[in-house]
């Protein structure tokens, strides 16, 4: 079982003006291999996002931290910027795969600025804020997610496929 966290960025949600549907979608899609050990909703504030990502990775020792929201073009969308400032190794193929998968359904997928990377032993992946965006992004990465986490943890036995 992978120790997992969900961090939602939403100004309205943090003020109690909007229900968090993307976090619910993440929980539903992850399945039984992932235990949700951390969940928090915060406003789109860069310093607070950085602080929460560091806390989830460094203090809680999560295997996986999924963020949702703040990945677009608006002035308040700063999740990728905050994430880039605190990760140690970028994992560029993950958001590339999410965008490619999303582009098969809508051209708006190219407007995502989502990033992914590793901090310590935690894989951090930015997901869109919409339920549909969360679903499609997790569908895109789910075939390799367990293996990626095992590599980071040091328990993967074989990376090559015949």
Question: How far, in Å, CA of 64 to CA of 37, rounded?
Answer: 10
Instruction: Give percent above pLDDT 90 in the chain.
Output: 88
Q: What pairs with residue 39 in β-bridges?
A: 6
- Identify the band that residue 158 occupies on the pLDDT scale cut at 50, 70 and 90: low
Specify the number of domains making up the chain: 1
How far lies 63's CA from each of 10, 54, 115, 124, in Å?
23, 13, 17, 9
Residue 158 lies inside a defined structural domain of this protein: no
Residue 112 lies inside a defined structural domain of this protein: yes
Residue 155 lies inside a defined structural domain of this protein: no
Range of the domain at 38: 2-150
Residues recorded for the chain: 162
Q: What is the CATH number of the domain that holds 34?
A: 3.40.980.10
Q: What is the pLDDT of residues 18-51, one digit of tens each?
A: 899 999 999 999 988 999 999 999 999 999 999 9
Q: What is the pLDDT of residues 117-135, one digit of tens each?
A: 999 999 999 999 999 999 9
Residue 162 lies inside a defined structural domain of this protein: no
Predicted local confidence at residue 159, as pLDDT: 62
Four-point Cα dihedral 141, 144, 145, 150, nearest 10: -160
Query: Judging by beta carbons within 10 Å of its beta carbon (0-12, 13-18, 19+), is residue 155 exposed, middle or buried?
Result: exposed
């Amino acid at each position: 079982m992978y120790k997992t966290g969900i961090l939602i960025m939403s100004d309205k949600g943090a003020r109690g003006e909007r229900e968090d549907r993307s976090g619910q979608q993440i929980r539903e899609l992850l399945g039984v291999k992932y235990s949700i050990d951390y969940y928090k909703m915060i406003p789109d504030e860069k310093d607070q996002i950085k602080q929460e990502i560091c806390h989830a990775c460094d203090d809680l020792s999560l295997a996986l931290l999924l963020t949702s929201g703040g990945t677009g073009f608006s002035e308040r969308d700063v999740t990728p910027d905050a994430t880039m400032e605190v990760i140690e190794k970028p994992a560029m193929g993950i958001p590339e795969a999410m965008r490619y998968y999303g582009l098969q359904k809508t051209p708006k997928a190219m407007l995502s600025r989502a990033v992914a990377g590793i901090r310590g032993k935690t894989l951090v992946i930015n997901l869109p804020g919409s339920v549909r965006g969360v679903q499609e992004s997790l569908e895109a990465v789910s075939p390799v997610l367990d293996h990626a986490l095992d590599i980071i943890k040091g328990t993967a036995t074989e990376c090559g496929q015949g």
